[in-house]
Amino acid sequence: MRLPVTNSFMSASASRSMPRGPKCAPTDARAWLNLATARTGSDQFAEAVGYAEKATQLEPQNRAGWNLLAALYAELKRPDEAAAALEKAKQVAPIAR
């Protein structure tokens, strides 16, 4: 199963130049999230999880980060963690009823 890659401003080839994270903006959650998205597009899910986790640590109110993290956990057959990340996404931005 391939996860959809959306809102990525960094190609997979560009992300290879930053294997340990965004050195130019180490505290920018968006940079970490973009790197996670790029790794997802390259089917590097285990590495993408680390980047998405960092993004959610830096910006815990970012629903997109939690949603991506949930999808990555699901891809890696980690259902409990996927469910927890989805729950966090709902807490951050509840769906209107």
Whether the per-residue pLDDT at 7 is higher than 90: the answer is: no
Sign of CA dihedral 53, 45, 65, 36: positive
Q: What is the pLDDT of residue 93?
A: 78
Q: DSSP H helical segments within the chain, as ranges?
A: 12-15, 29-41, 45-58, 63-75, 79-92
| pLDDT, tens digit, 9 for 90 and up, residues 15-62 | 454 446 667 678 899 999 999 999 998 899 999 999 999 999 999 999
Query: Structural domain boundaries of the chain?
Result: 23-92
Q: What is the pLDDT of residue 6?
A: 46
Whether the per-residue pLDDT at 68 is higher than 80: the answer is: yes
Q: Name the burial class of residue 1, with classes exposed (0-12), middle (13-18) and buried (19+) by CB atoms within 10 angstroms of its CB.
A: exposed
pLDDT (average), residues 65-89: 97
For residue 60, what are the CA distances in angstroms to 14, 24, 30, 55, 77? 26, 21, 12, 8, 23
* pLDDT bracket for residue 86 (50, 70, 90): very high
User: Cα–Cα distance between 34 and 65 in angstroms, integer?
Assistant: 10
pLDDT (average), residues 57-79: 96
- List CB contacts of 87: < 8 A, sequence separation 6 or more: none
Q: What is the pLDDT of residue 17?
A: 46
CATH number for the domain whose boundaries are 23-92: 1.25.40.10
pLDDT (average), residues 67-94: 95
